[in-house]
């Protein structure tokens, strides 16, 4: 199947690590030009750009705090100015800051909502303006199965991930007539750096939840995201696809 | 599908209703008779010259000149909120005429018969359903068209 | 070739006739025409009704009127071409008499406009343009003619004041017509201060909706001469159409259907434009009368504004026009208008128009337009 991504221009937030990094590199492998943002991880972001360039595509690393409305607009403007267009937005940047609610601070709540939910709003909005004028575009928002169910100690994270789903569905309705697809990918446990912070007993619980007995690799998730960035999935919109090895059926 | 077209629609179906889908993708279409090549705008399914019903769509640039106009103060049902608004007849460079409202780049006060204008395809952004139309804008206004894969 | 003549005429009061049904309105005009002709019900072979059905709650109007006029089982049917329905009925009656099928035919033009609420009426009227490509952008009937006015001004320099002078003339004569809706003169100041409708038109550029009916009775030459000593002959008949959509007209400064219909009527009657002594034209809007002067050849193309400036369409001018008040003052019950015009011309040619009489009127003309010029009927009448 030819995904037809050659020559497309993509933005991947949180593209210097984990799922985002894998998506950025896979897109480049398929012939797309990719811009990634970084807040602190400039070395990793530049390394990704270097790999993209070595594949013969154009990469770009932009410093932008996803929770900043202005930064997001500026990054989209910068990418459009350089490449003349934008075809794909993958929102993936996200953080956790767990705690039971009676101990959760205001800062914990604001930070997670700010980066995860508001961050997706910031980028989705800036990209939507470009896509609706172009009368074409793809948005893939990476959520989580923990946005579809409750999770102990993650009221802020789950709220942000659930919010991303409702946001995406609303945007699917607003942007459909402009030939823009907006979909959600909801992974379960993925083998990334974020996982390293999870205690082993919780990792085992998660493994037991899956029916396939393994966790996703970033490439597993990237493959699904690439499908959703392609015109072969032009009839899919407003959809939420879990990719969790059966963790939450 | 033709009910997508216009601020208020009276015609839900037509043999040329794909006109509305093309307009949604940013393309203003007339029709060309496959039998005798007679081309006409607005589009029609049945050739007025040779009577053939075999037609194809042909894209128009939307460039034209103001033919006449009027600013409507007493509006019909469905248009009360827009009054007063100006409608104009535009003579298209490639032949044929169309009628539409002025868009944001034109003011009724500066309108003159014979001036160059640009007809621009529009999608109503403020409503959930699909509504398409076109407006009359200053000459030189541009817009983007959807890539070919979006048209079946 | 034998002629067709008018032997009886009748006209009801035009206005907001909530006192009567459409068949009761028709009967007012019918009774008058029958008494004027001095004939009996048994003398009538058929009737033709000119009316626009969409405005009535009653379906199939012709049948209801035929029953009320007590003309069953004589044939009847409806003719509808928007505002020219009345003239279409007359043309149809003429055709049936010429064909030898009928000898005496009653023509009723009738209409109730006010059974519907005003917004409904506006919406319906607006859809006499092209619904697929024009009405979708909020066109109205006045707006169409207003666009003609804009173009006429650009091309010929016709001013809005000149257009309003037409309204002033028609109100001047309407004030002397007891059948008219508006029987008051208007001033230029009042007209210029009236509400905007569709630029350049204000309220006084536009005719008003009204209810009403008129009736004429046509007969074959043989029967006419036997039954009446004041026959007026329908000697010239013309009819032509133009595209429904103004987008497909050759220009928007004239009505080609009117010019075409006039040519046919003049040829059949063996006259030229300057022979017409009195005319009734379709002044649904002020510019329509100005274009009619030009389309009918009363003046050169583009000189319509000058024509009214010089008062050539007043009694005493080169061609008196609408000296019964026209649509502007009478109101416009759309199916009735064509027959109302005919009533006036017949009166004038008989010498029965009293204070509004045009001296030596022996050749008269009606110019009745449907919609925005989709159909025009021009009839030329002669008094021997």
The alpha-carbon gap from A59 to the nearest alpha carbon of chain B, in Å, equals 24
Read off the pLDDT of residues C136-168 as tens digits, 9 standing for 90 and up: 999 999 999 999 999 999 999 999 999 999 999
- A136 interfacial to chain B (CB closer than 8 Å): yes
Q: Contact, C206 vs C191, CB < 8 A?
A: no
pLDDT confidence of residue B149: 61
Contacts 24+ apart (CB under 8 A), B9-18: B9/C136, B10/C127, B10/C131, B10/C132, B10/C135, B10/C136, B11/C131, B11/C132, B14/B45, B14/C132, B15/B45, B15/B46, B15/B53, B16/B43, B16/B44, B16/B45, B16/B55, B18/B57
Mutate to test the interface with B, among C120, C121, C133, C158 (most CBs of B within 10 A): C133
Tell me which chain A residue has its CA closest to the CA of residue B146: A135
Distance separating alpha carbons of residues C296 and B122, to the nearest angstrom:
43
Helix residue ranges per DSSP H, C159-220 = 160-174, 188-192
| Interchain contact, B77 vs C154, CB within 8 Å | no
* Residues of C designated catalytic: 83, 332
Fold classification of B2-141 is OB fold (Dihydrolipoamide Acetyltransferase, E2P) (2.40.50)
Question: Of the ranges A98-112, C110-124, C185-199, which one carries the lowest mean pLDDT score?
Answer: C110-124
3-state secondary structure of B74: coil
pLDDT confidence of residue C60: 94
| Interchain contact, B123 vs A231, CB within 8 Å | no
The alpha-carbon gap from A160 to the nearest alpha carbon of chain B, in Å, equals 25
- pLDDT at residue C65 is higher than 70: yes
Distance separating alpha carbons of residues C109 and C341, to the nearest angstrom:
10
Asked if the bond preceding C73 is cis, omega within 30° of 0, the reply is: yes
Per-residue pLDDT, averaged over C378-382, amounts to 98
Q: What is the pLDDT along chain B (152 residues), one digit of tens a residue?
A: 999 999 888 888 999 999 999 999 999 999 999 999 999 999 999 999 999 999 999 999 999 999 999 999 998 888 989 999 999 999 999 999 999 999 999 999 999 999 999 999 999 999 999 999 999 999 999 999 998 766 55
pLDDT confidence of residue A203: 85
Contacts of A132 in chain B (CB under 8 A): 125
Confidence class of residue C291 from pLDDT cuts 50, 70 and 90? very high
> What's the burial of C58, exposed, middle or buried (CB within 10 Å: 0-12/13-18/19+)?
middle
- A135 interfacial to chain B (CB closer than 8 Å): yes
Contacts of B89 in chain C (CB under 8 A): 147, 246-247, 252
Question: Of the ranges A164-168, B72-76, C142-146, C214-218, which one carries the lowest mean pLDDT score?
Answer: B72-76
pLDDT confidence of residue C345: 98
Contacts of A231 in chain B (CB under 8 A): 149
Contacts of B82 in chain C (CB under 8 A): 138
Instruction: Name residue, tokens 């000697």.
Output: C235
pLDDT confidence of residue A193: 74
Go through the domains of chain C in sequence order and give each one's CATH number. Answer: 4-116+209-227 (3.40.47.10)
Contacts of C246 in chain B (CB under 8 A): 89, 99
Instruction: Name residue, tokens 């980066």.
Output: A115
3-state secondary structure of C134: coil
- A46 interfacial to chain B (CB closer than 8 Å): no
pLDDT confidence of residue B24: 95
pLDDT confidence of residue C115: 87
The alpha-carbon gap from B110 to the nearest alpha carbon of chain C, in Å, equals 14
- Asked if A touches B (at least 3 Cβ pairs < 8 angstroms), the answer reads yes
Confidence class of residue A199 from pLDDT cuts 50, 70 and 90? confident
Confidence class of residue A73 from pLDDT cuts 50, 70 and 90? very high
Confidence class of residue A237 from pLDDT cuts 50, 70 and 90? very high
Fold classification of A9-243 is Rossmann fold (3.40.50)
Q: Which chains touch B (3 or more CB pairs under 8 A)?
A: A, C
* Residues of A designated catalytic: 157
Per-residue pLDDT, averaged over C113-134, amounts to 85
pLDDT confidence of residue A38: 92
Q: What's the ipTM?
A: 0.91
> What token pair was written down for B146?
């959807």
- pLDDT at residue C240 is higher than 70: yes
pLDDT confidence of residue B151: 56
When the pLDDT of each residue in chain C is averaged and rounded to a whole number, the result is 96
Q: Contact, A17 vs A192, CB < 8 A?
A: yes
Per-residue pLDDT, averaged over C339-359, amounts to 97
Nearest to B73 among C120, C198, C246 (CB): C198
């Amino acid at each position: 199947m030819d995904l037809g991504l050659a020559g497309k221009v993509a933005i991947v937030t949180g593209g210097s690590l984990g799922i985002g990094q894998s998506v950025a590199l896979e897109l480049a492998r398929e012939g797309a030009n990719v811009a990634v943002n970084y807040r602190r991880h400039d070395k990793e972001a530049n390394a990704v750009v270097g790999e993209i360039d070595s594949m013969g595509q154009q990469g770009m690393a932009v410093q932008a705090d996803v929770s900043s409305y202005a930064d997001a607009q500026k990054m989209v403007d910068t990418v459009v100015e350089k490449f003349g267009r934008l075809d794909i937005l993958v929102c993936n940047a996200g953080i956790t800051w767990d705690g039971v609610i009676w101990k959760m601070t205001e800062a914990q709540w604001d930070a997670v909502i700010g980066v995860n939910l508001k961050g997706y709003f910031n980028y989705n909005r800036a990209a939507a303006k470009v896509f609706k004028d172009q009368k074409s575009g793809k948005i893939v928002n990476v959520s989580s199965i923990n946005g579809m169910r409750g999770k102990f100690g993650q009221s802020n994270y789950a709220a942000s991930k659930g919010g991303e789903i409702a946001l995406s569905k609303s945007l699917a309705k607003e942007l459909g007539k402009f030939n823009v697809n907006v979909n959600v990918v909801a992974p379960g446990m993925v083998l990334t750096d974020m996982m390293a912070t999870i205690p082993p007993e919780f990792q085992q619980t998660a493994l037991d939840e899956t029916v396939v007995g393994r966790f996703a690799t970033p490439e597993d998730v990237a493959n699904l995201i690439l499908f959703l960035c392609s015109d072969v999935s032009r009839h899919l919109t407003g959809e939420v696809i879990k990719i969790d090895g059966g963790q939450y059926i | 599908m033709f009910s997508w077209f216009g601020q208020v629609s009276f015609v839900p179906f037509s043999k040329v209703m794909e006109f509305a889908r093309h307009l949604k993708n940013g393309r203003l279409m007339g029709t060309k008779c496959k039998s005798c090549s007679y081309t006409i705008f607005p589009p029609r399914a049945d050739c007025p010259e040779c009577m053939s019903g075999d037609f194809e769509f042909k894209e128009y640039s939307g460039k034209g000149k103001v033919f006449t106009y009027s600013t409507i103060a007493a509006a019909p049902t469905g248009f009360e909120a827009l009054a007063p608004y100006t409608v104009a007849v535009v003579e298209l460079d490639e032949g044929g005429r169309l009628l539409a409202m002025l868009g944001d780049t034109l003011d009724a006060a500066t309108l003159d018969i014979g001036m160059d204008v640009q007809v621009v395809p529009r999608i109503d952004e403020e409503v959930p359903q699909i509504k398409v139309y076109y407006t009359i804008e200053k000459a030189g206004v541009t817009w983007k068209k959807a890539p070919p894969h979006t048209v079946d | 070739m034998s002629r067709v003549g008018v032997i009886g005429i009748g006209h009801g009061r035009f206005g907001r006739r909530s006192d009567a049904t459409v068949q009761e309105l028709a009967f007012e005009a019918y009774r008058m025409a029958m008494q004027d002709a001095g004939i009996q019900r048994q003398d009538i072979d058929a009737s033709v009704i000119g009316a626009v059905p969409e405005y009535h709650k009653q379906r199939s109007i012709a049948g209801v009127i035929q029953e009320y006029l007590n003309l069953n089982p004589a044939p009847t049917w409806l003719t509808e071409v928007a505002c020219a329905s009345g003239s279409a009925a007359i043309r149809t009656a003429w055709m049936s008499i010429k064909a030898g099928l009928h000898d005496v035919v009653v023509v009723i033009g009738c209409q109730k406009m006010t059974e519907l609420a005003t917004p409904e009426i506006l919406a319906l009227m607006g859809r006499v343009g092209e619904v697929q490509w024009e009405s979708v952008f909020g066109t109205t009937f006045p707006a169409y003619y207003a666009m003609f006015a804009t173009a006429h001004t650009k091309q010929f320099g016709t001013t809005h004041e000149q257009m309003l002078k037409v309204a002033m003339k028609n109100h001047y004569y309407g004030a002397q017509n007891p059948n008219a809706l508006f029987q008051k003169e208007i001033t230029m100041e009042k007209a210029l201060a009236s509400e905007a409708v569709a630029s350049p038109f204000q309220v006084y550029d536009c005719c008003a909706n009204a209810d009403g009916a008129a009736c004429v009775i046509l007969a074959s030459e043989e029967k006419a001469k036997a039954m009446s000593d004041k026959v007026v002959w329908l000697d010239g008949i013309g009819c032509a159409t133009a595209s429904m959509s103004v987008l497909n007209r050759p220009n928007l400064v004239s009505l080609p259907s009117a010019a075409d219909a006039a040519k046919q009527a003049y040829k059949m009657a063996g006259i030229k434009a300057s022979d017409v002594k009195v005319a009734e034209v379709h002044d649904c809007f002020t510019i329509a009368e100005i274009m009619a002067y030009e389309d009918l050849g009363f003046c050169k193309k583009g000189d319509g504004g000058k024509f009214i400036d010089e008062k050539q369409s007043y009694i005493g001018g080169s061609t008196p026009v609408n000296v019964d008040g026209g649509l502007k003052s009478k109101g416009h019950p759309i199916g009735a208008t064509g027959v109302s015009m005919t009533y006036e011309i017949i009166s004038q040619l008989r010498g029965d128009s009293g204070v509004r009489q045009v001296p030596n009127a022996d050749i008269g003309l009606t110019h009745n337009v449907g919609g925005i010029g989709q159909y025009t009927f021009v009839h030329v009448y002669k008094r021997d």
